[in-house]
């Protein structure tokens, strides 16, 4: 069966996260978005694991569902941890996603990890532990677990991060590199950028939302066609099986908050070319710029832009529906009219991914404003204007030129 999965998100016990990030709301929003398999996130947090045990029950092998509920969402046990340690004379800060097939295995993992950091302070705990040692601990608990480097290019906390990462998987994980089967692209990169590194051909690229609020789940996701089971999903990822792992759903990477180089406080946003011109130094404050994902990919790439490896899992770039509607109406997300139009489309077409990828123009035009229908079709075709994000500032994405929406709306009323 074909389904959408988003593995990496956070609970209400993580810092800077909505208090709405509880299991009931996650189940509700998974249905709205069109996600069948959703990560629990944060199973390392004792209070969140307690809620997982109380509110979920076993469904298919290694998957869980809400007790006493008709909600069809399946939960997969996941967490993200932050490993901070010194290696080869440099401080390293690596975020890793852990997948577990059972609550009992989560408990065993937590018993080990609490020796390296306080699991109660944050849903994504900070551990004084080498990433390689973490991988070793997890696999010793259960070979059915999967450890995936998170958002592998972001500057501050990732495998290839310009500020604290490494130049290769092998440099980080050494002899345990053979157990690294996947990497998460993160919001600021897409598969196309990652394909420029031949060293990444051997791993599978997954994409997840890293959501901190319910409405953001699924902004990146994965589409599978396999049996509904933890073990089948993990197998499809490990084997990079194109018949079972169909494609990933991607944010436009420019919209991510670390795509370009720059300084947020100085208002400086540079392409890699401009950074080179200034020797990596901010012209306003004189300090080194935060080097973004695009620049870092350029540094490590051994292939030209546009190269596609033979065994690559394809991808589709999408814009969240609420953003499309807001742009079509010339409003901000979260306004009453934007919410009304969003709910109308979900009502008519079941979920957001149906609207973004499948519903025809004529069916859209039958139930919504012509400029919204036009925006959805343009976004589907990649006809967008983007101001890249940098140094923690999200990029801005536009579908329409100024005042263009009004002329589309006027044309719509003529017919």
- Helix or strand (DSSP H, E) at 39: strand 37-39
Identify which of 188, 172, 206, 205 has the alpha carbon closest to the alpha carbon of residue 83: 172
Q: pLDDT by residue for the chain (415 residues), tens digit each? A: 999 999 999 999 999 999 999 999 999 999 999 999 999 999 999 999 999 999 999 999 999 999 999 999 999 999 999 999 999 999 999 999 999 999 999 999 999 999 999 999 999 999 999 999 999 999 999 999 999 999 999 999 999 999 999 999 999 999 999 999 999 999 999 999 999 999 999 999 999 999 999 999 999 999 999 999 999 999 999 999 999 999 999 989 999 999 999 999 999 999 999 999 999 999 999 999 999 999 999 999 999 999 999 999 999 999 999 999 999 999 999 999 999 999 999 999 999 999 999 999 999 999 999 999 999 999 999 999 999 999 999 999 999 987 676 667 666 544 4
CB-count exposure of residue 284 (10 Å: 0-12, 13-18, 19+)? exposed
CB 22 within 8 A of CB 28: no
**DSSP calls for 43-77:** TTSHHHHHHHHHHEEE-STT-EEETT-----EEEE
> Which pLDDT does position 4 carry in this prediction?
98
CB 102 within 8 A of CB 62: yes
Gyration radius from the chain CA atoms? 21
Cα distance between residue 323 and residue 333, in whole Å: 6
Q: Look at residue 415 in the predicted model and tell me its pLDDT.
A: 46
Q: Specify whether the CB–CB gap between 294 and 259 falls below 8 A.
A: yes
- In this structure, the number of other CB atoms found within 10 A of the CB of residue 315 comes to 19
Beta strand pairing status for 385-387 and 396-398?
Answer: antiparallel
CA–CA separation, 158 and 93 (whole Å) = 6
Confidence at residue 166, expressed as pLDDT on a 0 to 100 scale: 98
Integer CA distances (angstroms), 267 to 175, 294, 387, in order: 42, 18, 13
What is the predicted pLDDT for the residue at 414?
A: 44
Residue 404: the pLDDT is 72
Matching residue, tokens 């089948």: 232
């Amino acid at each position: 069966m074909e389904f959408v999965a988003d593995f990496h998100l956070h609970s209400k016990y993580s810092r800077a996260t909505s208090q709405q990030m509880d299991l009931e709301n996650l189940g509700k929003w998974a249905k709205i978005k069109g996600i069948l398999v959703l990560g629990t996130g944060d199973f390392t947090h004792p209070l969140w694991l307690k809620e997982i045990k109380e509110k979920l029950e076993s469904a298919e092998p290694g998957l869980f569902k809400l007790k006493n509920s008709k909600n069809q969402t399946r939960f997969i046990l996941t967490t993200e941890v932050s490993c901070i340690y010194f290696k080869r004379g440099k401080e390293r800060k690596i975020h890793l996603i852990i997948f577990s097939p059972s609550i009992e295995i989560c408990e065993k993992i937590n018993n080990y990890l609490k020796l390296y950091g306080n699991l109660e302070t944050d849903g994504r705990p900070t551990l004084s532990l080498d990433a390689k040692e973490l991988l070793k601990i997890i696999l010793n608990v259960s070979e059915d677990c999967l450890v995936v480097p998170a958002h592998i290019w972001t500057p501050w906390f990732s495998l290839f991060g310009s500020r604290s990462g490494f130049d290769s998987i092998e440099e980080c994980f050494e002899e345990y590199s053979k157990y690294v089967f996947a990497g998460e692209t993160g919001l600021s990169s897409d598969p196309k950028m990652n394909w420029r590194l031949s060293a990444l051909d051997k791993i599978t690229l997954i994409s997840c939302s890293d959501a901190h609020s319910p409405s953001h789940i699924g902004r990146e996701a994965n589409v599978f066609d396999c049996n509904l089971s933890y073990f089948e999903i993990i197998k499809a990822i490990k084997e990079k099986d194109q018949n079972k792992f169909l494609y990933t759903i991607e944010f436009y990477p420019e919209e991510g908050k670390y795509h370009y180089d720059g300084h947020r406080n100085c208002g400086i946003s540079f392409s890699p070319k401009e950074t080179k011109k200034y020797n990596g130094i901010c012209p306003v404050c004189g300090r080194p710029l935060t080097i973004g994902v695009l620049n870092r990919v350029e540094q490590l790439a051994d292939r030209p832009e546009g190269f596609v490896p033979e065994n690559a899992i394809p991808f589709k770039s999408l814009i969240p529906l609420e953003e499309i509607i807001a742009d079509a109406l010339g409003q901000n997300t979260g306004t009453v009219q934007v919410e009304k139009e969003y709910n109308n489309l979900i009502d008519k077409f079941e979920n957001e991914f149906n609207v973004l990828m499948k519903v025809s123009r004529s069916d859209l035009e039958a139930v919504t404003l012509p400029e919204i229908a036009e925006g959805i079709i343009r976004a589907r075709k990649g006809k967008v204007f983007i101001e890249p994000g940098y140094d923690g500032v999200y990029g801005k994405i536009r579908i329409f030129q100024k005042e263009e929406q009004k002329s589309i709306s006027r044309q719509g009323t003529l017919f």
